[in-house]
Amino acid sequence: MVTIPGFLLKRLYVKGSLSNSPEGVQFQLKNSLGSGYAKAMLPVSLDGEEYSMDKTFFNVEGARVPFSSVSDDFHFSIPLNKVITILVGGVSLAPGPHKIAMGFVVPGLGKLRFDVKDEI
């Protein structure tokens, strides 16, 4: 099975995008790597604490979609050179540096994970 190194996956993360919003913590991903999709999501972790996939969302055509909805029939994808916002609902982070980790299951590649550090 082919693997994608974490340092390449980190390129999905938009540095400086971590912020608190009235709805929770959000950050952005931008696909500059190529086409692909995930058939399952893995929980987002902030500073080592995992959050429920029912409370973690991405937007599709203006609709907020929970990570738990991603399946063989409903994929997670980021079109090439497009930005997507990820929201972890009901969470707030203090100013300063934080570690963000996330991952997904990609057909033919398996579980892919990466982590980044960013600052609010």
- Considering the entire predicted model, what is its pTM? 0.90
Q: What is the pLDDT of residues 62-78, one digit of tens each?
A: 789 999 999 999 888 87
Q: What is the pLDDT of residues 30-66, one digit of tens each?
A: 988 777 788 999 999 999 999 999 999 998 777 899 9
Measured distance CA(46)–CA(37) in Å, rounded = 23
Report all structural domains of the chain as residue ranges with CATH numbers, in order of start.
Answer: 6-119 (2.60.40)
H/E/C letters for each residue in 50-95? Answer: ECCHHHEEEEECCEEEEHHHCCCCCCECCCECCEEEEEEECCCCCC
Contacts of 111 (CB under 8 A, 6+ apart): 42, 103, 104, 105
Assign 6 to helix, strand or coil.
Answer: helix
Measured distance CA(46)–CA(102) in Å, rounded = 9
